[in-house]
Amino acid sequence: MSNDAEVRKMNLIDLLIDDYDDVEEPPEYACKLWSEDQIRQYFENGGLLQGFPEPKKEICREELKKKFPLPSGDDMKKWFPGLDRSKTKCDIPKMRVVCFTNAGNEENVFTMEGIGARRVSTLLDFCRSNQVEMLAVQLPGRSARKEEPFFKTAQEAAAATLKMIAPFIIDTPFCVIGHSLGTWLSFELLSLMREEGLPMPAQVFLSAFASPSLSEAERPWKVNRGMPDAGFMEECVGWDVNDVVFKEPMWSQYSPMMRADFSLFDEYEYRRAGDAPFDFPITTFFARDDKKIKELMVQGWKHFTTQAFECIQIDGHHLYVMGINEQKDAKIAWYTHITERMGKLPFFN
């Protein structure tokens, strides 16, 4: 059955056929793979198909497994150091969840549940109770990977991550969670997955960041390259970074990683304006007290899916992902929204 977006595109094609009676009707897949702007361009260009999205040839799972072999044990420890810590590893998972955190942070935001009054991980509880394996991505330049060079671009990070993630989602359903910078890393990774003919996620959860199509003029941040320390600290304050980070020795330890990670979004080039929307549901979140990322920016993600879209307010600031002090309830609320939606996926019922 066609969804509302496809019906609108069918109606648009019918109208344009009348206006451009000398142009051949576009292929059947246009309603699914092309945007409305691309449909208009097709007719305006006289029906030339060159440069327009085409359906990808189906790649069998055995071919995908040959192309994307399982990583070595050493690579697993580097890229997913929290898998054992999370206690979500299973022999035959019903689902996997791929997690990307914000700039200047580590995968343990997802894989450490906290203790006592600081315990917040209803997400880990859900995973352990439902045979869901958590693959929280650890990028180079931090913890055990601190001697490895940082990635220079979000696209480079996604390409490297693809090789690690792909083997685990060929035969197993999955969801993706990305917070802040992690949303753009998720977007680039999912775009590469689609190009490779890999399975797409059951649902994606994108938190506290604008859609990647936001123009450079509208971006509410400054490029940190060449910025003096005082200016970079001020920029970090705008992202609700805790004051304790600005004190030595923590600043010397964290500022190189933060600058490198910030560069992944503050120098980001959006190169996928011609790509068709994804065909999976997207749930987004914005923080009520976020100084930089506002609801309208997050609403921009609705143009990246042909399926259901939500935009939900979280009563916290930009770094509610940390769950520290007054942000604990915000993180719990965020996890609750995610687990409620994952729990309704068909393979849990």
Residue 254, in any domain of the structure: yes
Mean pLDDT of 182-208: 97
pLDDT digits (tens, 9 = 90+) for 10-32: 999 999 998 998 888 998 888 88
- Over 60: is that where the pLDDT of 135 sits? yes
Q: Where do we find the tokens 């002090």? A: 325
Mean pLDDT of 137-147: 96
Total domains present in the chain: 2
Q: Are residues 307 and 207 in the same domain?
A: yes
Task: Return all residues near 206 (Cβ < 8 A) that are at least 6 apart.
Answer: 178, 183, 186, 187, 282, 283, 284, 285, 298, 301
Q: Are residues 101 and 220 in the same domain?
A: yes
Q: Are residues 194 and 238 in the same domain?
A: yes
Mean pLDDT of 68-89: 97
Average pLDDT, the chain: 93
- Specify whether the CB–CB gap between 54 and 275 falls below 8 A: no
- Over 80: is that where the pLDDT of 50 sits? no
- Over 80: is that where the pLDDT of 49 sits? no
pLDDT digits (tens, 9 = 90+) for 202-259: 999 999 999 999 999 999 999 999 999 999 999 999 999 999 999 999 999 999 999 9
Helices (H), 275-327: 295-299
Q: Are residues 280 and 217 in the same domain?
A: yes
- Specify whether the CB–CB gap between 122 and 140 falls below 8 A: no
Rounded to a whole number of angstroms, the CA Rg of the chain reads 21
What is the structure's pLDDT at 325? 86
Structural domain containing residue 35: 4-44
Q: Are residues 25 and 88 in the same domain?
A: no
End-to-end CA distance of the chain: 23
pTM, full prediction: 0.84
Nearest to 186 by CA among 102, 113, 263: 102
Residue 298, in any domain of the structure: yes
Cα 24 to Cα 41: distance, rounded to the nearest angstrom: 13
- Specify whether the CB–CB gap between 33 and 276 falls below 8 A: yes
CA angle 199, 201, 202 (to 5 degrees): 120
**The CATH number of the domain where 150 resides is what?**
3.40.50.1820
Residue 33, in any domain of the structure: yes
- Over 80: is that where the pLDDT of 267 sits? yes
Amino acid letter at 286?
A: F
Q: Are residues 226 and 326 in the same domain?
A: yes
Mean pLDDT of 145-170: 97
- Specify whether the CB–CB gap between 261 and 286 falls below 8 A: no
Q: Are residues 30 and 152 in the same domain?
A: no
Q: Are residues 89 and 24 in the same domain?
A: no
Q: Are residues 123 and 40 in the same domain?
A: no
Residue 54, in any domain of the structure: no
Mean pLDDT of 57-82: 91
Q: Are residues 289 and 216 in the same domain?
A: yes
Long-range contacts of 306-309 (CB under 8 A, 24+ apart): 306/3, 306/5, 306/6, 306/32, 306/277, 306/278, 306/279, 307/3, 307/278, 307/279, 307/280, 307/281, 307/282, 308/281, 308/282, 309/281, 309/282, 309/283, 309/284
Q: Are residues 218 and 288 in the same domain?
A: yes
Q: Are residues 22 and 110 in the same domain?
A: no
